[in-house]
Structure 1
Amino acid sequence: MTPEAGQALFREATDFHKAQDFEAAITLYRQLLDTGAETAETLTYLASALRSAGRQPEAVEVYRRLEPLAADRADVWFNRGNALNDIGRHAEASDCYSRALDIEPDNASVISNLAIALAELGREEEAAALYRRALELDPGQKLAAHNLANLLSDWGELDEAAALLRQIVAKWPELAEGHYNLGHVLLKLGDYANGFAEYEWRWDTPGFFKKPDYKGIPVWRGEPLAGRKLIVHSEQGLGDTIQFAKLLGLAKSLGGDIVFHVPEKLEALLKSLPFDIEVTSQHSASGGDFQIPLMSLMNRLKLTPGSIPVMQSHLAADTEKVAQWRQRLHLGGSEKAIGFVWQGNPNSPAERGRSLKSPEELAPFSALSGTRLIALQKLGPDDLEPADTPSGWRVKGLSFSMEHPGADMDDGADAFLDTAAIMSGLDLVVSVCTAPLHLSGALGRPAIALLRSAPDWRWMMRGEDTPWYPTVTLCRRKPGEAYAPAIARAVEKARDLLTQ
């Protein structure tokens, strides 16, 4: 290929690249490289196109080929680090960013992205220092400011996090993530008025749940409801739906008809709500004058922690199932019974730091005399072993005995019907922050919540009680503390609760 033909092919490739036809550009860049013209420029463009096309592993390989041709270029090391970060190879990414900083030590973008890689590796204090350094060099580093604020929030340094996030939304008022995360921080601080207003930005935040489409039905902004129908649609996780369902009584008190659209798996459970409303999973079954996401009711109703409805319970277990499980598990005898949940959804954004590493961490509860320990965690046959228990099963591989109802618990299409029935026969539930904890509170069952030191916003930051559930006691980890000391405190709380 002549130099002129090579230049023409390169221009054609870059034209496709600029037009975001990345696959066509990749094909032409590879054709050019196949002629033996392996230049740093062509490789750089090919790697960029591969990244834009979502072909990160191939981009990483191209950046490796670039190394002998562009070892002194900070941008090549930077983009190689970005491609590695994209596919979770954070240690290698941090090495590439460090090489870029050897060349350009004051590059704020590189410093900020190195901080991201270190945070993913669990080196959060180093990451925070780097975010601060990036902001010193370039106050316009939006990503550094936002990520630093999130770290501060995770550490419980809420005043500094709130101040930084307020600066962010003032400087970048259209940054939905900034508003959304400011909402989280304010809610942790108990500022529900401003927190839930900022929380309304959640639907515009990248990666958030898709907002249900109710074409032609306007969003309720607080207009009078007398003689009108309001559709309230559940959102996010099952625990969120269970928690906020207690607000539907307030919505009903405004005089309109309420239709509650719920996931099919929760319909049977939520039909036990003690309000004169329609609960349905058939979302096209009923029109309405207005519609609103469930968790937006807090903002529309102008609720504060002190005005959340005080209800001993707002859900009830099926009476037939309660009787069946009492008989099957021999509940209600002289021995006390505690149910345990130690693991949330591992794919949830809220998972970090909330779950126990293993049910073995619950072993201290076995020291409670005259007490049965029963797992409420949904487990498969491989996690269970036969045992001399009423159900015939226990959790496999523990140093103490924890009974299990069996792999068929909640095995049908409906969620939590068996769990709710079993909870109704227990004396206490101990759970990390996940849907069964909300279920126990909604049923009005005594429960202990095992929480990280800076927990999810709904538990705020202080105290042992919560306005959401009168029967739930909060047991918080202290900053820097593992779960073991908190579990030891929870055992003592359990001892007190079981003797009342």
Structure 2
Amino acid sequence: MRSAVVPDVAAIERQVRALITTGRFEDAEALLRPALASGSGPVALWKLLAAALRPQGRIAETRAIQEMLVAHAPGDFPTRFDLSETLLLLGDLERGWREYHYRYSLAHTAVIGRRVQAPRWDGRPVPGRTLLIHDEQGFGDTFQFMRMVQWAKARSGARVILEVNAQTLSLARRSQDTLGFDAIVARGTLPPPFDLHCELMSLPMALGLTLADLPGAIPYLSADPRRVAKWRERLAALPRPLVALVWAGRPTHFNDANRSLTLAQLAPLARPGVTFLSIQKGPAAAQAGDPPAGMSLVPLGDEIRDFEDTAAILSIAELLVSVDSSPVHLAGALGRPAWVMLPFVPDWRWLLARTDTPWYPGMRLFRQPLRGDWGSVMTAITAELARLVA
């Protein structure tokens, strides 16, 4: 009797990881399927199958595998976090926020988790107490979730101290009446005494946030009138409409290769009568020195000192066209028009298969119809830009 062939799991795992790293997701799936054909198999291979299916846009299948893995090993925190992002992408916020709580139980994030010697606020009223709400992740996350401070204030009945990074401090401070906090401090400084705390991105879990609760009052941030006056003078002689551009995100972001473009890829947007403003920062800003043929582009990156300058420019420009980046969330918080270029499988906050977003009224989403197909995105935006100019 012939014995069953036992697959070399370690060898398959090495090959699959190499394929996933190089974006060959279909090949990775094909290599995994025989080893998992019985419906059982090593957990490591099931995890890799989920990692191969998700970039293909097969989100329901991804969720089913992740649910199975979490049921099998509830203490597998990386898988629980992966499941959280899948649930949130699908719009299942209630469970998604609960699983998202595991974000600081991962090997690479444990070191940045805030160790606070006070209970975490769980959404219950705590009148007479002091609640510290502190930001935790990227600038875009801070802009997006800052709106919830006022909801936490109303729900808790507490005195609220808001702690944010220094780069967004002045924008938040100016909106104190809207955001409803009682005091504000910069991250890295010693806050006043407090009784409870909550991370900014744990507020949705504490508040039981649903899609129906969004967007809340818009705008909830405002630009500095003095900066607006300065930039209005700077841009006064430029032909309108003014369209701000951001084509690349932060290079150190784990998903940057999936979401970022080059300026050259935006060449189809060039058209007479439109002045593009490069508000791109970071290494990609240098590309503004060599714009595509026919594109009237004014590079502003070197003149932008901080987010106050960015907010002022967005308040003057007719439109922002951007990849998934912090200026998108700043524009949304300011209530300014923005068109967002999204990869085939976007970050969880953009949900699936919709051209709008519950987070920001009036914002438009332009999605890749196929993985890597930025050309179709450019075609769609070019047509809409022509209508806007007309």
TM-score over 0.5 for the pair? yes
Structure-to-structure mapping, 1:144-155, within 5 angstroms: 144-155=45-56
| 2:154 pairs with one of 253, 259, 263 | 253
User: What SS does structure 2 have at the residue aligned with 1:232?
Assistant: strand
Structure-to-structure mapping, 1:190-229, within 5 angstroms: 190-208=91-109, 210-215=112-117, 217-229=118-130
**Whole-Å Cα distance in 1 between the matches of residues 108 and 285 of structure 2?**
33
User: What SS does structure 1 have at the residue aligned with 2:74?
Assistant: coil
**Whole-Å Cα distance in 2 between the matches of residues 213 and 114 of structure 1?**
39
**Whole-Å Cα distance in 2 between the matches of residues 312 and 382 of structure 1?**
30
Distance 1:481 1:301, change over 3 A: same
Give the counterpart letter for 1:227 in structure 2: G
Structure-to-structure mapping, 1:81-480, within 5 angstroms: 106-136=7-37, 139-208=40-109, 210-215=112-117, 217-254=118-155, 255-273=157-175, 274-277=178-181, 278-282=183-187, 283-330=189-236, 335-356=240-261, 358-367=262-271, 369-378=272-281, 383=286, 395-396=289-290, 398-411=292-305, 415-480=306-371
**Whole-Å Cα distance in 2 between the matches of residues 197 and 380 of structure 1?**
36
1:422 CA drift (Å): 0.7
Distance 1:310 1:158, change over 3 A: same
**Whole-Å Cα distance in 1 between the matches of residues 353 and 284 of structure 2?**
39
Give the counterpart letter for 1:190 in structure 2: G
Q: Does the 8 Å contact 1:231/1:260 carry over to 2? A: yes
User: What SS does structure 1 have at the residue aligned with 2:257?
Assistant: coil
1:447 CA drift (Å): 0.7
1:473 CA drift (Å): 0.5
Distance 1:382 1:211, change over 3 A: closer
1:151 CA drift (Å): 2.5
**Whole-Å Cα distance in 2 between the matches of residues 407 and 342 of structure 1?**
12
Relative contact order, higher structure (CA 8 A, sep 6+): 2
CA offset digits 1:309-350 (Å, max 9, x no partner) = 43221111111011101111226x762110000000111113
Give the counterpart letter for 1:425 in structure 2: I
**Whole-Å Cα distance in 2 between the matches of residues 492 and 269 of structure 1?**
34
**Whole-Å Cα distance in 1 between the matches of residues 51 and 109 of structure 2?**
16
Provide the identity percentage.
32
Distance 1:309 1:249, change over 3 A: farther
Q: Does the 8 Å contact 2:146/2:179 carry over to 1? A: no
**Whole-Å Cα distance in 1 between the matches of residues 35 and 202 of structure 2?**
36
**Whole-Å Cα distance in 1 between the matches of residues 377 and 166 of structure 2?**
36
Give the counterpart letter for 1:162 in structure 2: R
Deviates more, 1:452-461 or 1:137-146: 137-146
User: What SS does structure 1 have at the residue aligned with 2:360?
Assistant: coil
User: What SS does structure 2 have at the residue aligned with 1:224?
Assistant: coil
1:497 CA drift (Å): 4.2
CA offset digits 1:258-312 (Å, max 9, x no partner) = 1111111221122233222122205422121110111111111111111124322
Return 5+ residue gaps in structure 2 as ranges: none
User: What SS does structure 1 have at the residue aligned with 2:256?
Assistant: coil
**Whole-Å Cα distance in 1 between the matches of residues 215 and 128 of structure 2?**
24
Q: Does the 8 Å contact 2:244/2:278 carry over to 1? A: yes
**Whole-Å Cα distance in 2 between the matches of residues 227 and 382 of structure 1?**
49
Q: Does the 8 Å contact 1:235/1:293 carry over to 2? A: yes
1:406 CA drift (Å): 3.7
User: What SS does structure 1 have at the residue aligned with 2:297?
Assistant: coil
Give the counterpart letter for 1:171 in structure 2: H
Give the counterpart letter for 2:180 in structure 1: D
Aligned residue pairs total: 380
User: What SS does structure 1 have at the residue aligned with 2:364?
Assistant: strand
CA offset digits 1:200-259 (Å, max 9, x no partner) = 1111022126111212x1111223122221111111111111111111111111221211
**Whole-Å Cα distance in 1 between the matches of residues 388 and 300 of structure 2?**
27
Q: Which has the larger radius of gyration?
A: 1
Q: Does the 8 Å contact 1:247/1:309 carry over to 2? A: no
**Whole-Å Cα distance in 2 between the matches of residues 113 and 127 of structure 1?**
11
Match of 1:496 in 2: 387
Give the counterpart letter for 1:350 in structure 2: N
**Whole-Å Cα distance in 1 between the matches of residues 102 and 60 of structure 2?**
21
Give the counterpart letter for 2:49 in structure 1: L
1:498 CA drift (Å): 4.9
Deviates more, 1:177-186 or 1:200-209: 200-209
**Whole-Å Cα distance in 1 between the matches of residues 361 and 159 of structure 2?**
28
**Whole-Å Cα distance in 1 between the matches of residues 364 and 314 of structure 2?**
16
Give the counterpart letter for 2:298 in structure 1: H
**Whole-Å Cα distance in 2 between the matches of residues 307 and 161 of structure 1?**
27
**Whole-Å Cα distance in 1 between the matches of residues 146 and 348 of structure 2?**
18
**Whole-Å Cα distance in 1 between the matches of residues 139 and 97 of structure 2?**
19
CA offset digits 1:133-176 (Å, max 9, x no partner) = 33348934222211221232222211111110000001111000
1:395 CA drift (Å): 2.8
Give the counterpart letter for 2:258 in structure 1: G
Q: Does the 8 Å contact 2:263/2:291 carry over to 1? A: no
- Aligned residues: CA RMSD: 2.2
Match of 1:54 in 2: none
